[in-house]
Chains A and B, each alone.
Chain A
Amino acid sequence: MYPDWFNYGAGVTNYLAVPDLPLDSAMTEFDFPGGVVFNGKLDAVYPIKNHTDQRLVNGVTENVSHAWYEGNKTLHPWKGETDPHYTGFKDDGKYSWVKSPRFEGQPMQVGPLSQVLIGYAQGHKLIHKWAGEAINRVSAISQKQVTPAMLQSTLGRIAARAIRAAMLPDLANKHWDLLVKNIASGGVRIYVKPQFGENELHGVGFHEAPRGTLSHWVVIKDGQIANYQAVVPTTWNAGPRDESGAHGPYEASLLGNPVADPERPLEVLRTVHSFDPCLACAIHTFDPDGKEIIHVS
């Protein structure tokens, strides 16, 4: 237990999570909560009740000012462009293959921490059960009273992953039983044949994956895919600065983090690992020196 790591790594304290584990095929009720929190204000959470929430659907954009794609535009995924253009590492220019997703122009942290905080703020029973259990245990071990707000840190991010993992077995049996009941009552259809008219169609799917909010956006014209953009959890977290210079979550969490030995920056690893990166999905971002994003103290 490293209780001082509650003091580091808060980074971007805007949180995004989408509801998941639907209880009905109309997707109106879910066992995992969703919502948005800005600036760590847990008392002002905006709940996201389902996947058709218009604020959610309309609020997502991706900017490529600092990513190796043509231009510097900020585009909604339905108008998204992905034209790779590698120009080498330029600290103030483009330095990543990852785009910069933003929600209503703000960088957002996604992942178990986001979901735990958003659920906690909404009084979600199962989150209160397990977050409470985690907080009690950590407080006992560290001899220090831990609060939910302290979860906004590198250590909190790791604890939240465990909290979410603890919630799932409670829900697994329930969802298994629901599936069995559904099949027993005749719900055996697993394929819906796609039928597209001639109009242009826009579709989006959301999922609260183990690493955070995942969204796939498609534009269909004449029955064919005209555009497909995936904004995946690690893109939200690993993304570089946007056009206004606002840092992405990894970057923000590293700023001001003490590093004992710059030749062996374990603290950088620990901070980035706390986000559980999936770079296979987000496209690898590598900063060879790290010096411009770390302030050694």
Chain B
Amino acid sequence: MLDQSNFPMPTSFRNGVDRRTFFKVVAQATAAIGLTSSLAAKIVAAVEKGARPSVIWLHFQECTGCTESLLRTSQPGLAEVLFDLISLDYHETLMAAAGHQAEQALESAIQKNAGKYILVVEGALPTKENGIYMQIAQKTGLDIVKHVASSAAAVVAIGSCASWGGVPSAEPNPTGVSGVT
């Protein structure tokens, strides 16, 4: 992903836009990635300085529907969200990298933006038998979320599954899922 410190003014705003419209666009973008509008002011400030906030998106036990919703966002469109408003530094469905390269991208995003990135979690977290029911690169979801959340500025649970367990938590909840909170 692009180096944030050198990022120029968002292209869509290059022809000039009033501050109110700008704020509205950012508020809609933050809603699209599951954040409350109160964080919009912080994002506006960051974008004006030329730094797009780093977002790390994790998938757990989910159907990828929340990501599909994100992909269909309009006003602002996805391109504007990804290129102008946030720096989506890790997203398994959307990123080009796979395998070791993806793992490296995650670690470097965590290090570079420690304390400042927004962690978005999609999907429920299995807890039964120490979380072996969902592993990525042989790490359990439990271990992954503990590691990535530890230096996040904010953790957002997007969708029912991440919020309270959703469909995977239906009786008899065989993998012991709970929401990520």
Contact = CB atoms under 8 A, between A and B. Distances in A.
A284 interface: yes
Interface string B63-99: 1100000000000000000000000000000000011
Interface string A130-148: 0000000000000000000
A286 B63 contact: no
Interface residues of B, number: 17
B123 to A, nearest CB: 9
A263 interface: yes
Contacts of B100: 263
A84 B174 contact: yes
A280 B64 contact: yes
Interface string B125-161: 0000100111111100000000000000000000000
B129 A86 contact: yes
Contacts of A264: 99, 101
Contacts of A89: 138
A37 to B, nearest CB: 32
B129 A280 contact: no
Interface string A229-270: 000000000000000000000000000000000011100010
A286 B136 contact: yes
A187 interface: no
B133 A86 contact: yes
Contact of B137 (A86, A265, A286): A286
A280 B129 CA distance: 21
B135 A265 contact: no
Nearest to A273: B98
Contacts of B136: 286
Interface size class of A (residues with CB under 8 A): 10 to 19
Contacts of B137: 286, 288
A288 B134 contact: no
Contacts of B135: 286
A269 B97 CA distance: 10
Contacts of A280: 62-64
Contacts of B99: 264-265
B62 to A, nearest CB: 7
A48 to B, nearest CB: 29
Contacts of B175: 84
A84 B133 contact: yes
A280 B59 CA distance: 10
B176 to A, nearest CB: 11
Contacts of A286: 135-138
A86 B129 CA distance: 9
Contacts of A86: 129, 132-133
A264 B101 CA distance: 8
Contacts of A84: 133, 174-175
Nearest to A266: B98
Nearest to A281: B63
Contacts of B98: 269
Contacts of B138: 89, 286, 288
22 contacts: A84-B133, A84-B174, A84-B175, A86-B129, A86-B132, A86-B133, A89-B138, A263-B100, A264-B99, A264-B101, A265-B99, A269-B98, A280-B62, A280-B63, A280-B64, A284-B134, A286-B135, A286-B136, A286-B137, A286-B138, A288-B137, A288-B138
Given A84-B133, A280-B64, 4 more contacts: A84-B174, A86-B129, A263-B100, A284-B134
